[in-house]
Structure 1
Amino acid sequence: MSIKGIFVGINKQLDPNIDELTGAVRDATALNALFLDSVPGFSAKLLVDEHATKDNVSESIFGTLASAADDDVIVISFAGHGSPDGGIAVYDTLCSDLPGTTLSMAELGDAFKATRARAVLCILDCCFSGHAPARVLEVPAQPRSVFALEGVAGEGRILLAACTARQVAWEQPGTGHGLLTHAVISAMTANTIEQVSFPAVADEIVQIARVEAHRIGVTQTPVFLGSIQGGLVFPRLEFGANYRAAFPTHAVEQMAGPFEQLLDSGFPSPIVDQWAIRFPGGLNALQLRAVNDYGVLAGRSLMTVAPTSSGKTMIGELAAVQSVIAGKKAVFLLPYRAIVNEKFEEFSERYGAAGLRVFRCTGDATDSIGDVLASRYDLGFFTYEMFLNLVLGAPHLLNRIGLVVVDEAQFITDPRRGITVELILAFLLRARVQDIRPQLILLSAVIGRLNGFDQWLDIPVLLSRERPVPLIEGVLDRHGTFQYRDVDGMTKVDAILSPHSIRVRKEKPGSQDVIVPLAQKLVAANEKLIVFRNQRGKAQGCARYLADELGKGPATATLNALPAQDLTSASRDLRRCLSGGTAFHSTNLLRAEREAIERGFRDPNGGIWVLGSTTTLAAGINTPASTVILAEQEFRGEDGRPFTIAEYKNMAGRAGRLGFNETGKAIILVDTPIERARLFRHYVEGTPEDVTSSFAEAALSTWVLRLLSQVRGIKAADIPALLVNTFGGYVAARANPTWIAMVEPRIASLVGRLLQTGLAEQEADDILHLTILGRAVGGSSLSFESGLRLVELLRSVDVATTPPLHILALVQVLQEMSDIYTPLFTRGRSEATRVNDVIVRYGHTIQRALQRFAADEHEFWRRCKRAAILYDWVEGVSVDAIEQRYTVNPFVGAIRYGDIMSIADGARFHLRSAHRILAALFPEQPTYLEGVDVLLTRLEFGLPESCLSLRKVNAALTRGQCFALAQAGAQTPEAVLGMTDDALAACVGDAMLQRLRSIHAEVSV
């Protein structure tokens, strides 16, 4: 007698239209190892991923069955996707040819009947439904024929199927296995038994899987069929040498420092070698504490608060690679698209060559959302908003994620973005109820007292004040006196500027009087500077006058890298600054210009000595400087509030970067000695503000609606518990035991409004759940009141006569769009012409709609101004022309490129919400919804529809290059590639010409 096994597991498949799994390979590998370890004389074949082709699987299974002797026992296990017509999806299965590329269950049943083997045990951890994001092969318009599972089972044939023919097979959170395989392993390795007997153990396997399914909120009932005369008995399965070899203990409990130690724990050598080159000294003290004291490489969660350049990000990288090794995904959540793009490019270069698939998701057209939904990635970078939207729409994604890194975690306190961060964390906390527990790592450079934040998350905190590059912080007055805290912690006072060097350079005293001599002194000492200003115009002006004063040569490489078409008024200033060795960084610059400046400033020999910047540069973009200068202590524009201590510390932290400077300096500028002493105490010696929630009781309806969009259904009486699950609710309930009772009447009133407006429905058992429309509003970027406002406006739309472009104007009525700064010259009535601009572009109906809910005439004009600007932007009007057309006074209320992009990005972000609401209101209008999709793309690139196909040539083409190609008569990829080199170079430049020809050559090959 011989006992043989064939174990098949497929996570990744050849067809890019098939979702990846995370546990199928682990299922097959584990069962193969356990049987080898436990059953004497057992021989097995393991086929996973690319080795599990139809030919290989068929040959192994059918060949083994055909050659079996009378007393043989055969174990066959398959983990992967099941097809809707009752087939097994192998590695080379194609959705376009399921009958020809799947393994037929009917043929398998015939082979089971024909084999001479005494007993066959078949474990099928796949499903035959095709309806849910689990172990299902999702294919459109496929006929469903339910396969009779009895055809596989019979006398001497035992079948364990993951679910019924109309159910779905799910993966088990936390174990890395399918529910059925997890139950099989649990039952067959139980210490309470000496041997495993079929069919006796089958009931236990079914019960374990059914209960575990219920615990994670799904329905899955495994099927056991067949019988064997005298039973089928195996020894209890043991976790032996083969299992330990297949699943080495990757958890690294202790490290001495060198990265090479990670090789023994399964880390890929190309990655370890790269780390060793980047950091010859190995892990630093902070990273060693994270590994040795807090177990981040053992899968434990951690909040790390440490200064810039301390190595926080590397803690996330270590845990991310560990997660990928374990077969899970790792995601990094970041506050801004610019940082996501920077990290994506950095990690693609760093880890792409090692075989890791790096992905980004910011809401741009360059994102591959399909790859995320299909789990075809290893490391993902997301903005906060995009990650929340994705997991709300596809909760199964979270089950495949092993690590979530929240960078810049202090954003939970941000008045506008904090709600998103908090909802993400609350979502992760609720997932623990279903045993979905991805490792959570929070990173922050500056954070105050935690105020229970760590207790809410149930997470330890690694706090370090040590900076690898020491920082001198101080305040400089107009007398040249610098009061500072030195690297030894002592407060000192020095005269670093001569009072004679500080002179009034304009009509009245200003910060320029101090910045010029200070920059001259520091640059003469070979230092690079960032001068933070609180307005874009000031940052631009600062770089301009320093270019004139410093006497430095041009930053030639950066000048040569700048785009040449569709330039802005700031573009001309930038070239002037770079010619004198300075630059500025703000949203007034094109993206390609900002990226060129960042590269040039990072390059020690890039020739950019001073960077005038707005405060957004402090949020993590890699721009190392020797010294940072803060010329103001407050935001300007509509914000108008003073910098918090945390915001100051973030800006100060840009000074002195590891590998660039031995010491950094942060200098605040003030006028008088009294101000100097006051700000020194407040900012330099001050402690960052306590961590607080952005939850406000005035926004209770918005929070409740957002939270309801995260659950399937709930009794109204249980809604307060959802609120307590947020950080804000947790803190409020701790501070006031009666808080829940206080909000209950308001929640009851809100439930009434939800039912009245059709956003929610109530079932007979008092379960409240959001309607499709309610989920569209609740999962949106909008407040509750804005959501209702938009629903009312869209319900009045006649989709038969209203072009999708007009929705762009309607979203301007939202409060969220009013919150976007829109420059307006409010003296006189010159801006009233914006009303006519709207009438010309959209018509009288839209003009009247823009008057709805307007607080005053100025708000109405601003709506009209935004709507008109966006119309011109998507119709391809040049940036320069838009700036001139909508600027009444160049000194007050001027429209610049940064304003255009702020309005366009905001409209695109909220238009996505409008799109979901439109889909709920008008599901029978797919063509109209497709038109809104096109509009979203036009908003992103600022192109008319006729030019959109040019994006298919190369996603890196700029708006100006697209216009140049269109003007040359090339509006399709074919026309572009058919141009002569000279004609193409005249439109896109030599560098892009080479890229296009290279891409074309690769495609042709």
Structure 2
Amino acid sequence: MGLKAIFVGVDKYIDPLVPELNGARRDAIALWALFTDTVENLSAQLLVDETATHTDVAQSIQSALSAATEDDVVIISFAGHGSPDGNLILHDTVSSNLPGTALPMVGLAEQFATTKARVVLCILDCCFSGQAPARVLETSARPRSAFALTGIYGEGRILLAACATNEAAWEQPGSGHGLLTHAVIEAMSRAEGPSVSFPEIAGEVIRIARVEAERMGVTQTPVFLGNVQGGLTFPILQRGENFQAAFPVTAILQISGSFAELAQHGFPQEVVQQWVAAFPQGLNDLQLKAVNQHGVLSGNSLLVIAPTSSGKTMIGELSAVQAVIGGRKAAFLLPYRALVNEKFEEFSARYAEAGLRVVRCSGDAADGVTPVLSGRYDIAFFTYEMFLNLALRSPRFLNQLGLVVVDEGQFITDPNRGITVELIYALLLRARDRGVNPQLVVLSAVIGNLNSFDRWLGLPLLVAKERPVPLIEGVLDRRGTFQFVDTDGTTKSEALLPGHQIVQRREKPSSQDVIVPLARQLVQAGEKLIVFRNMRGPAQGCARYLSKELGLPPASSVLDALPTQDLTAASQDLRGCLAGGTAFHNTNLLRAEREAIERGFRSTDAGIHVLAATTTLAAGINSPASTVILAENEFVGEDGRPFTVAEYKNMAGRAGRFGYNEIGKSIILADTPMERAQLFKKYVLGAPEAVTSSFQHRDLPTWVLRLLSQVRGVLITDIPGLLVNTFGGYTASRANPQWISRVEGEISALVERLLQAGLAEREGELIHLTLVGRACGASSLSFESSIRLVELMRQVDISGIQPFQVVAMIQVLDEMDAIYTPVMKKGRSESVRAADVAQRYGHPLAQSLQRYCRDEVGFWGRCKRASLMYDWMSGEPIDILEKRYTTTPFQGAISYGDIIRIADGTRFHLRSAHQILSALFPDQPEFLSGLDEILRRLEFGLPDGAVSLVRLPVALTRGQYLALFSAGCTTIESVRDLGMEVLVALVGKEPARDIASIRSSMDVSRQQS
């Protein structure tokens, strides 16, 4: 008997419309290796990815079947996408031309019927029809009918298919194989006795696959058809040389410290060279412990707690590249969009030459959501909210991940963002129960008592207290005395400033009296400073008076890089500061201005010596300084809440960044010697606060709704168990064993509200969310806001409103009321905002803003936000908006930071509303697509006709887009037709040059076509 085999596996596809897979290539290689290791004289072909083209696969199968004799057995194994109409999708298949580029099963059936082979065993690990999640390619041009299997099986023709004709074939996250291939490998390699035979083994294959599918929470039933007279026997499959070479068992990688060593372990040379150049000193102690003691390069999960600038991020970076080398995808989760953008640009530049595909998802138009959902990426950066939203929307997305890096993991304690971070952790923990267990690396700044945080996550712990750059921390009083902890750990005091230099400069003593002489002394010594202020106004004022007092030369290169159109009131202030060698960084600046400041401050010769910033700069943005000065120790906008010790440590950690300074210094300002001693004890000597959950009992309905969106159905009595999966529930139940029974009554009442609102329904004993309820649970909205939105929208005639009017309705949500909106509370001057709303949105919408309102001032705030957003989307210049919506300079003043904060909040929650409205009104596609347009207009602040300009391949500022629109440009083609002089006048020299170069390439491509 001769045995011939063809193993085909396709993960990657030329057609961008075909989603990539993770395990199909692995399936083919594993079966090829096992059979070649086990069966002597096997004639086997392996065709994967680029080699699995339509021509090569078709010719290989035809050749094997046509050459087979009556004594031969032919095995044909395919893993990849299957289309609803019965085609196997190959590497070069084009979705718009399946008949010409895919492999039809009908053709295979004909070849099976005509071959002389005694037995043909066909293993198909792909979908046949219907569902979309894993291994099915949906086509709009053809019906979703199942193809006929007749002819594929029969006497001597065995078909082992992954699933029924109306099911999807899933990939198993744990093994990295398709469920069917995993079951075949298990059944044929673990069976008792010297051999296995078909059809006897088929039952075990089906059983294993169904059990694994049930564990994953999906339905998949493999199909076995056909028979062989006398049976078909194979030896037990052995893991021999080929298998070991294809899937080596990786021990914990041990390295001595040089990045160059990593090239010997499979890391791309281009990547290693980048690391060697950036970090010639090699890996530091923290990174070596993560690799050598904790095995992060062997796929082990880890919780790392270490000071700012200790090299934590490189641990995640190393793990990510190792994951990509192993064919897995890596996700970085970050707290802010600015961080996502910074890391995306950094990684894109660093790894482009090595061929790594880097994408970002932060809620902006430039996001790579499509590549992420189709699996066409290697490393992705997400804000916490975007990751949670995508994970809840697409189970396949989570299944594909090999690594999740949660940066700034201490955000679980944040009163605003903590719920999102905690739900991400809970989601990943629950996923383990169904075999989805990506490597998890949590990176955290220094925190206090862990409160069993590491046990809840099930992660080993790596803690470091040392910084590569030593940090001096202390407090300076108005007498010039500096009390500090030196780099050797001893407490000391010294006269940092001569007393005569600290003079009162205004009517009352202020921090300015100390900051000016202190900054002058430090800058003269060659230092770079960050001065942290707790409000935008004081940050601007600080940079302004320092630019006048210090007499520094202008930061000319930064001034030249600033935008020139659609400027804010703060823009002119910034230019004045830069003229004196200082700058400020807050949300009153345009994004392009903030980015120019960040680049300028990082540069050693750009001329920014002092940067005054609000506390958001402390959240990880790369802003190296030798000394950090903290002028205040409390938040003004948050009821005067003092900084936590952890927040202080994060700001102090900005000083002495590795590669920039040999030592860092953090200075807190105090008024008196007594206050100096108090602040020194609280912050410098104080331990960071214990890790606590952001879970509050009042938020129980929201938590339950979010958790229910993660499961298909659950008994009411099991819902408290879902809560225990959260850190809050875990710690509460450990502290009080009666906690679960205490919340059971509240949960029963909550379920009744869900049922009455149509967000949930009963199915026997189970409760599960409806499509609308699932959309609410996957959204950013609280339980009450979700109910409120559904109720409001069900009361309106959807055919009678325009998408832009939803912008006004969004303002009634609790989340929007929580966004600080400057309103003049004395008198009734802000009452005109109601008339503004009526004029822009119509009287019914103005009246709806009174719903669920606490007081009249709250109503004015809603009207102010709604009207402001209307004008923002209409393209009104920023300086006009600031003047129009400012009541007085002291109360109710609107600045660009307020505008963009309200626009971002509206856009963020409108995106959630969009999901809910899609479930409420699936028969209104035009209305829903109109909301997509509104989201883009909110992001860029552009009128309807100008939105298409954002598709220009050159990123422009809002002012540049508006200038093009004012010149009559509404399409990319119309911009293309502008003369160079006109283009320069509208957008400036560099953008005009970029547009012109793209225009030239378009002309060449047109001529060639």
**Which category describes the TM-score, using the shorter chain as reference length?**
over 0.9
Give 1:324 shift.
1.4
Matching residue of 1:689: 689
Indicate yes or no: 2:980 matched with 1:981. yes
Partner residue of 2:656?
656
Identity of aligned residues (%): 64
| Partner residue, 1:50 | 50
Aligned pairs (5 A) from 1:493-508: 493-508=493-508
Q: Deviations over 1:847-898 (max 9, x none)?
A: 2111222222211111111111111100000000000111122233321100
Contact 2:129 2:145 (8 Å CA) reproduced? no
CA positional deviation for 1:364: 1.0
Q: Which residue of 2 aligns with 1:379?
A: 379
Matches of 1:207 and 1:746 in 2, distance apart?
40
The 3-state SS of whatever aligns with 2:679 is helix
After superposition, residues 800-879 of structure 1 pair within 5 angstroms as: 800-879=799-878
Structure 2 counterpart SS, 1:381: strand
1:718 has 2:728 as partner: no
Question: Counterparts of 2:222 and 2:851 in 1: how far apart (Å)?
Answer: 57
Cα offset, 1:239, TM superposition: 1.5
Alpha-carbon distance in structure 2 between the residues aligned to 1:882 and 1:327: 50
Checking the alignment, whether the CA contact within 8 Å between 2:474 and 2:668 is kept in structure 1 is: yes
Superposed displacement of residue 955, structure 1: 5.3
> Residues 66-105 of structure 1: CA distance to partner in whole angstroms, max 9, x if unpaired?
1223333322111000111111111111221222221011
Answering whether residue 164 of structure 2 is matched by residue 142 of structure 1, we say: no
2:418 aligns with 418
- Per the TM alignment, residue 749 of structure 1 is displaced from its structure 2 partner at its CA by 1.1
Could you tell me which residue of structure 1 aligns to residue 797 of structure 2? 798
Tell me, in whole angstroms, the C-alpha distance in 1 between the residues paired with 2:503 and 2:892: 30
Deviations 1:655-703 (A, max 9, x none): 0001100000000001000000000000000000000001011111111
SS in 2 for 1:633: coil
Mapped partners of 1:145, 1:810: distance in 2: 42
Aligned partners of 2:201, 2:838: CA distance in 1, in Å?
A: 75
d(CA) in 2 for partners of 1:250, 1:981: 58
- How far apart are the structure 2 equivalents of 1:895 and 1:513? 29
Supply the AA of the counterpart residue of 2:855.
Answer: D
Q: Higher mean Cα deviation, 228-237 or 858-867?
A: 228-237
> By how many angstroms is 1:3 displaced?
2.5
Deviation of the 1:458 alpha carbon: 1.0
How far residue 590 of structure 1 moved from its aligned partner, in angstroms, is 0.4
Deviation of the 1:904 alpha carbon: 0.4
Structure 1 251/987 Cα, relative in aligned 2: closer, same or farther at 3 Å? farther
Structure 1 residue 638: Cα displacement: 4.1
Within 5 Å, give how 1:171-250 maps onto structure 2. Answer: 171-190=171-190, 192-250=192-250
Mapping 1:532-681, distance limit 5 Å:
532-681=532-681
Secondary structure at the residue paired with 1:434? coil
- 1:454 alignment partner AA: D
Partner of 1:728 in structure 2? 728
Superposed CA deviations along residues 913-941 of structure 1, whole A, max 9, x for unmatched, are 22222223222221111211111110000
The answer to whether the 8 Å contact 1:329/1:378 transfers is yes
- Structure 1 contact 627–664 (Cα < 8 Å) conserved: yes
Residue by residue over 1:587-632, the C-alpha shift from the partner in whole angstroms, topping out at 9 and shown as x without a partner, is: 1000000001100100111111010000000001010110000000
**3-state SS, counterpart of residue 403 of structure 1:** strand
Letter in 2 for 1:278: A
Which stretch of the first structure deviates more once superposed, 617-626 or 32-41?
32-41
Size of the aligned set, in residue pairs, is 1004
Q: Deviations over 1:156-182 (max 9, x none)?
A: 322211112222211112101001111
For residues 887-902 of structure 1, what are the structure 2 equivalents within 5 Å? 887-902=886-901
Q: Is the 8 A contact 1:413 1:693 kept in 2?
A: yes
Q: CA deviation at 1:235?
A: 2.6
| Corresponding residue for residue 349 of structure 1 | 349
1:705-752 Cα shifts (integer Å, max 9, x gaps): 111111111111111001111100010000001111111111111111
Q: Residue 397 of structure 1: CA displacement?
A: 1.1
The secondary structure found in structure 2 opposite 1:155 is coil
**Secondary structure of 1:122's partner?**
strand
In structure 1, the residue corresponding to 2:403 is in which secondary structure? strand
CA distance, structure 2, for counterparts of residue 361 and residue 215 of structure 1: 30
CA RMSD of aligned residues (A): 1.4
Report whether the alignment pairs 1:259 with 2:259: yes
Alignment partners' CA distance in 2, 1:891 and 1:514: 26
Contact 1:150 1:225 in 2 (8 A): no
For residue 309 of structure 2, give the secondary structure of its aligned residue in structure 1.
coil
Structure 2: runs of 5+ lacking an equivalent: none
Cα drift, residue 435 of structure 1: 1.1
Q: SS of 2:353's equivalent?
A: helix
SS in structure 1 at match of 2:352:
helix
Moved more, 184-193 or 290-299: 184-193
Letter in 2 for 1:958: T
Partners of 1:481 and 1:916 lie apart in 2 by: 58
Determine the structure 2 residue equivalent to 1:408: 408
**Residues 152-171 of structure 1 aligned to structure 2 (within 5 Å):** 152-171=152-171
Segment drifting more, 466-475 vs 551-560: 551-560
Structure 1 equivalent of residue 785 of structure 2? 786
Contact map agreement 1:251 1:265 (CA 8 A) in 2: no
Q: Please name the residue that 2:929 is paired with.
A: 930
Distance 2:838 2:83 in 1: 54
CA distances 1:359-411 after superposition (whole Å, capped 9, x unpaired): 10011111132211111111010011111111111112111001111111111
* 1:441 matched residue in structure 2: 441
So what's the TM-score if we normalise by structure 2?
0.98
Runs of 4+ in 1 over 4 A off after TM superposition: none
- AA aligned to 2:50 is E
Q: Are the counterparts in 1 of residues 954 and 994 from structure 2 also a CA contact under 8 Å?
A: no
Residue equivalent to 2:962: 963
Q: CA deviation at 1:187?
A: 1.7
> Displacement of 1:251 after TM fit?
4.9
* 2:317 is equivalent to residue 317 of structure 1: yes
> Bigger shift: 611-620 or 992-1001?
992-1001
Helix, strand or coil for the counterpart of 2:796? coil
Q: Are the counterparts in 1 of residues 362 and 382 from structure 2 also a CA contact under 8 Å?
A: yes
Partner of 2:748: 748
Displacement after TM superposition at 1:129 (Å): 1.4
Q: CA deviation at 1:422?
A: 0.5
SS at match of 1:120: strand
Partner residue in 2 for 1:954: 953
Q: How far apart are 1:791 and its partner, in Å?
A: 1.9
* CA distance in 2 between partners of 1:638 and 1:692 (Å): 19
Partner of 1:84: 84
> Which residue type is aligned with residue 478 of structure 2?
R
Question: Structure 2 vs 1, CA of residues 198 and 191 (structure 1 numbering), >3 Å: closer, same or farther?
Answer: closer
State how far apart, in whole Å, the 1-side matches of 2:708 and 2:5 are: 48
Corresponding position of 1:528:
528
- Residue identity in the other structure for 1:786: S
Q: Give the Cα separation in 2 of the matches to 1:34 and 1:261.
A: 32
Change (3 A) 1:283 1:940: same
Structure 2: distance between partners of 1:58 and 1:122: 14
User: Mean Cα displacement is larger for which, 519-528 or 773-782?
Assistant: 773-782
Partner of 2:765: 766
Which segment drifts farther, 167-176 or 221-230?
Answer: 221-230
| Equivalent-residue separation in structure 2 for 1:162 and 1:328 (angstroms) | 23
Q: Tell me how far 1:348 sits from its aligned partner.
A: 0.7
Contact 1:248/1:265 (8 A) holds in 2:
no
Distance, in Å, in 1 between the alignment partners of 2:886 and 2:219 is: 61
Q: How far is the alpha carbon of 1:250 from its aligned partner?
A: 4.4
Aligned to 1:94: 94
Question: Which amino acid in the other structure matches residue 386 of structure 2?
Answer: M
Cα distance in 2 for partners of 1:346, 1:81 equals: 34
How big is each residue's C-alpha offset from its partner over 1:261-320, in whole Å with a ceiling of 9 and x where there is no partner? 333433222222322222223221111111111111121111100111211111111111
Give me the whole-angstrom Cα distance separating, in 2, the residues matched to 1:19 and 1:288. Answer: 37
